[in-house]
């Protein structure tokens, strides 16, 4: 039911409607409405604690792991409400990959990290796994650096390499969407640059939502920008427009750094 | 308004009056305390070695490593294999109980139980570890053995099975608690990484958490085995003192520890071979647990820095 077919003609991948979310009694997301379109990079910006992470973790229902979370509203993913009882979480997450703020490889070899997803979903054939690993590492622009040390522990890689490994790990199950929560905040400028180039490359095949604290990064890599403030979506639209002629005063204050 | 506190002056005054002597003597006192435990350990090991030497010089090795143990016979024989066999079999039975139950309990506590439930269950489980072993021994003899007799009618009143099981129950908290510690120290970000790939809770537990915590888990097994090998009361009461060499766990057998209990409670006259055999058994027992503890340390060190 969460197949790529059906609504493929429509460019809308995610349609979020009146989404509210509470941690216990604290409301973290308030009446969010937005659409994420195919093969676009959507940047999510806003001050610390405004709900950016919460929002993208709702898109693959990672927030379900937190017992006190309650939600209302709907999130349609290719036309299916992901909160519907018939939706299997594991199935949703195989088509919506996620990359975290801090690189979090498993304490296994580089190869085992990449093929972890394919393996748990039943691919056993050594040759197929090798092929998947190579393709994913190539897509994550890491292949050349690690091809001779696939059996080394992933923790021997640099931070930037680890993050690209985590991207490769997500790509290995051929998702449709990639969610990234500040994927470069733990990295130096060179590694950041690499990841940004990679995102530009990946958007040909994937739909990407990325949380970032860097205005320049949002401006450089995204097509659409969503500005959150205290759990509300203040403004959402073309990145160019948001960064040149924002409609809301608060957006302007934030992106120009005049925010109190 | 009070005058500002002149911290610098106060410090200057106090630092002079600080007793240099105390600073010098106290570390020596600490060293003395540390030495006491080290010296007693050395003393005990030396005694074990010297008195075992007397035993080994009287009894040929061929006899020591035989299966005939009859220390009080007119024609005595000091084969240690029945004791080693009894020790290993009861410990194995204990591990068959403690590993599966302890590990699954740890998995439940670390990965599935809510925070609130974990906080109530773990201390309760640890109380189990505080029960005196004599109570467990009594429990094996007067409760578990009669219960098992209904299933296995041929079971002896003294047997290896029942104390083995009870010993397993006794070390469940140890396995569960140490394994739980190892599993909950696996960073959450690793679990999230797997969840985000569509892994189920069980897959995360078995394919991420347990492999990442494996060194701590195995170390807990090894420490538990070492505990079972050294355990005395339960096997003395539950398994009796038959010195037969047998693999039949429904029969009575004697462990190394129980042998020492039997002999120190009366029968061995000082200077006899039987008396020195106690030291030999003690030494072998010590080597067993020492090796186990070394293995546990090695394992937990070797894999410590993996993530
Ligand atoms: N597990 C949680 N339990 C309770 N409250 C939480 C939890 N996670 C986040 N919150 C609260 O929800 C609000 C939004 O947090 P969130 O992590 O989504 O912010 P963010 O925009 O990602 O911030 P940052 O830029 O610092 O990462 C915050 O007020 C935070 O305190
Ligand atoms: Mg965040």
Q: Where are the domains of chain A?
A: 2-255
pLDDT at A7 over 50: no
Taking the C-alpha atoms of residue A139 and residue A141, their distance in angstroms, rounded to an integer, is: 5
Q: Which residues line ligand 1 (CB under 6 A)?
A: A 23, 28, 46, 48-54, 66
Which residue in A65, A166, A170 is closest to B195 by CB distance? Answer: A65
Check whether residue B233 and residue B146 sit in a common domain.
yes
Taking the C-alpha atoms of residue A1 and residue A80, their distance in angstroms, rounded to an integer, is: 8
What pLDDT, in 10s, does the model give residues A160-209? 999 999 999 999 999 999 999 999 988 888 889 988 999 998 999 999 99
Check whether residue B13 and residue B102 sit in a common domain.
no
> What value of ipTM does the predicted structure carry?
0.90
Domain A2-255 is in which class?
alpha beta
Biggest distance spanned by C-alpha atoms of chain B: 97
pLDDT at A2 over 60: no
Taking the C-alpha atoms of residue A200 and residue A139, their distance in angstroms, rounded to an integer, is: 11
In the prediction, which pLDDT does A74 show? 96
Residue A257: pLDDT band with limits 50, 70, 90: confident
In the prediction, which pLDDT does B37 show? 92
DSSP structural state of residue A230: T
> Does the residue B63 lie in any domain?
no
CATH number for the domain harbouring residue B130:
1.10.3720.10
Q: Which ligand is nearest to the CA of A48?
A: 1
Centre of ligand 1 from the C-alpha of residue A28, in Å: 7
In the prediction, which pLDDT does A5 show? 46
pLDDT at A232 over 90: yes
How far, CA to CA in Å, does A215 sit from each of A218, A221, A259, B190? 5, 10, 13, 29
Buried b (16+ CB within 10 A) or exposed e, B184-212: eebeeebbbbbbbbbbeeebbbebbbbbb
Global pTM exceeds 0.80:
yes
Check whether residue B157 and residue B289 sit in a common domain.
yes
**Structural domain boundaries enclosing B7:** 2-58
Closest Cα in chain A, distance from residue B224 (Å): 26
Check whether residue B104 and residue B9 sit in a common domain.
no
Q: What angle do CA B251, B257, B260 make, to 5 degrees?
A: 105
| Kind plus residue range of the DSSP H or E element containing A12 | strand A12-23
The residue whose CA is least distant from atom 14 of ligand 1 is A51
In the prediction, which pLDDT does B267 show? 63
Residue ending a domain, among B22, B39, B58, is: B58
pLDDT at A113 over 50: yes
In the prediction, which pLDDT does B148 show? 95
**B210-230 and B81-107 helices cross at what angle (nearest 10)?**
140
Closest Cα in chain A, distance from residue B45 (Å): 41
Ligand 1 atom with the shortest distance to the CA of A231 = 14
> Does the residue B116 lie in any domain?
yes
> Does the residue B141 lie in any domain?
yes
> Does the residue B98 lie in any domain?
yes
Average pLDDT along chain A: 92
**A126-139 and A159-171 helices cross at what angle (nearest 10)?**
120
Strands A69-77 and A80-81: antiparallel
In the prediction, which pLDDT does B307 show? 60
CB-based contact, B117 to chain A, within 8 Å:
no
What pLDDT, in 10s, does the model give residues A187-199? 888 889 988 999 9
Number of independent structural domains in chain B: 2
Check whether residue B122 and residue B180 sit in a common domain.
yes
Taking the C-alpha atoms of residue B73 and residue B274, their distance in angstroms, rounded to an integer, is: 11
In the prediction, which pLDDT does B284 show? 94
Instruction: Judge whether B262 and B242 are in contact, CB under 8 Å.
Output: no
In the prediction, which pLDDT does A1 show? 47
Taking the C-alpha atoms of residue B211 and residue B204, their distance in angstroms, rounded to an integer, is: 10
Work out the number of other CB atoms within 10 angstroms of the CB of residue A76: 18
DSSP structural state of residue A47: S
Question: Which residues in chain B come in under a pLDDT of 50?
Answer: 305
User: Which of A32, A67, A17, A76 lies closest to A230, judged by CA?
Assistant: A32
Cross-strand pairs, A81: A76
Taking the C-alpha atoms of residue B258 and residue B267, their distance in angstroms, rounded to an integer, is: 14
Pocket perturbation via mutation, ligand 1, pick of A46, A49, A63 by most ligand atoms within 8 A of CB = A49
What pLDDT, in 10s, does the model give residues A18-52? 999 999 999 999 999 999 999 999 999 999 999 99
> What percent of the residues of chain B are helix, what percent strand, and what percent coil, each to the nearest 5?
75, 0, 25
The residue whose CA is least distant from atom 12 of ligand 1 is A28
């Amino acid at each position: 039911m969460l197949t790529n077919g059906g609504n493929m003609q429509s460019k809308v991948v995610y349609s979020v409607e009146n989404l509210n979310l509470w941690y216990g009694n604290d409301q973290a997301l308030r009446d969010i409405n937005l659409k994420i379109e195919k093969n676009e990079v959507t940047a999510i910006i806003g001050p610390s604690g405004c709900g950016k992470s919460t929002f993208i973790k709702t898109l693959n229902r990672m927030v379900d792991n937190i017992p006190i979370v309650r939600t209302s509203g709907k999130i349609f993913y290719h036309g299916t409400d992901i909160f519907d009882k018939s939706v299997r979480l594991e199935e949703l997450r195989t088509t919506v990959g996620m990359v975290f703020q801090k690189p979090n490889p498993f304490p296994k070899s580089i190869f085992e990290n990449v093929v972890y997803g394919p393996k748990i979903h039943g691919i056993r054939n050594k040759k197929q796994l090798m092929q998947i690993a190579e393709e994913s590492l190539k897509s994550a622009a890491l292949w050349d650096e690690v091809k001779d040390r696939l059996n080394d522990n992933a923790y021997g890689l640099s931070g930037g390499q680890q993050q690209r490994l985590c991207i490769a790990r997500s790509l290995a199950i051929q998702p449709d969407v990639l969610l990234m929560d500040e994927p470069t905040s733990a990295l130096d400028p060179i590694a950041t640059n690499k990841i940004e180039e990679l995102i530009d490359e990946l958007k040909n095949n994937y739909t990407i939502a990325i949380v970032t604290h860097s205005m320049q990064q949002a401006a450089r890599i995204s097509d659409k920008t969503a500005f959150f403030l205290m759990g509300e979506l203040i403004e959402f639209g073309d990145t160019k427009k948001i960064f040149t002629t924002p409609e809301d005063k608060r957006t302007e204050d934030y992106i120009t750094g005049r925010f109190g | 308004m009070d005058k500002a506190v002149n911290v610098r002056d106060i410090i200057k005054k106090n630092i002079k009056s600080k007793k240099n002597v105390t600073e010098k003597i106290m570390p020596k006192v600490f060293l003395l305390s540390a030495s006491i435990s080290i010296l007693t350990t050395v003393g005990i090991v030396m005694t074990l070695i010297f008195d075992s030497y007397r035993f080994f010089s009287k009894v040929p090795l061929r006899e020591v490593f035989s299966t005939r143990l009859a220390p009080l016979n007119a024609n005595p024989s000091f084969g240690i294999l029945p004791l080693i066999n009894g020790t290993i079999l009861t410990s194995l039975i204990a591990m068959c109980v403690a590993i599966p139950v302890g590990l699954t309990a740890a998995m439940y506590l670390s990965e599935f139980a809510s925070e609130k439930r974990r906080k109530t269950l773990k201390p309760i489980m640890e109380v189990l570890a505080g029960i005196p072993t004599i109570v467990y021994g009594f429990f094996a003899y007067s409760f578990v053995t009669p219960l098992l007799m209904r299933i296995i009618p041929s079971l002896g009143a003294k047997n290896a099975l029942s104390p083995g099981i009870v010993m397993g129950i006794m070390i469940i908290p140890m396995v569960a608690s140490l394994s739980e510690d190892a599993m909950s120290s696996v960073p959450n970000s690793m679990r999230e990484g797997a969840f985000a790939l569509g892994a189920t809770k069980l897959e995360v537990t078995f394919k991420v958490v347990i492999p990442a915590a494996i060194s701590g888990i195995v170390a807990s097994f090894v420490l538990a085995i070492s505990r079972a090998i050294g355990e005395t009361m339960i096997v003395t009461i539950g398994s009796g003192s038959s010195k037969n060499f047998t693999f039949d766990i429904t029969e009575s057998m004697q462990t190394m520890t129980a042998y020492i209990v039997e002999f120190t409670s009366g029968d061995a006259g000082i200077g006899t071979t039987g008396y020195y055999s106690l030291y030999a058994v003690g030494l072998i027992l010590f080597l067993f647990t020492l090796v186990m503890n070394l293995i546990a340390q090695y394992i937990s060190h070797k894999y410590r820095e993996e993530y």
